[in-house]
Structure 1
Amino acid sequence: MDSNTNIPPVAKEYNGKDRNAFLFGWNPQAEIWNGRLAMIGFLAYLLWDLAGYSVLRDVLHLMTY
């Protein structure tokens, strides 16, 4: 790593605001939180499906009758 560069090792801020801060409205932080919550929801559905409760399987089963 070159010690002569002025690039910080970690980008902590975007437009002067913390990237992990929960800010209400349309901003880059909202997209980060949207992605995080989507990942949590997807994982929750996968665990729910592994437990034997599947909305998709139930809907497809009902469509076959």
Structure 2
Amino acid sequence: MAELKPNVTPKLPQPKLGFNDYAERLNGRAAMVGFIITLVIEYVTGQGVLTWLGLT
């Protein structure tokens, strides 16, 4: 039996660089996670993050 091959080349989206919706969404989520971690550190240690890091 002969091997069947598609007649059409699939159209794949071009990779995007720079500012795009995915990068902005990922950056926003990372910022939210960082903010929550900051709040948890302040709550657990009773100190601000700068004090916890020894910067003040």
Q: TM-score, normalised by structure 1?
A: 0.45
Match of 1:32 among 25, 33, 41: 25
Give the total of aligned pairs.
Answer: 39
Mapping of residues 10-49 of structure 1, within 5 Å: 25-26=17-18, 27-49=20-42
Tell me which protein shows more strand as a share of its residues.
Answer: 1
Q: TM-score, normalised by structure 2?
A: 0.51
CA distance in 2 between partners of 1:48 and 1:37 (Å): 16
Structure 1: tracts of 5 or more residues without a match? 1-16, 18-22, 61-65
Superposition deviation, residue 29 in structure 1:
1.3
CA distance in 2 between partners of 1:33 and 1:24 (Å): 14
Percent of aligned pairs with the same residue? 33
Instruction: Indicate conservation of the 8 Å contact 2:41/2:49, yes or no.
Output: no
Highest Rg: 1 or 2?
A: 2
| Aligned residues: CA RMSD | 2.6
Structure 2: tracts of 5 or more residues without a match? 1-12
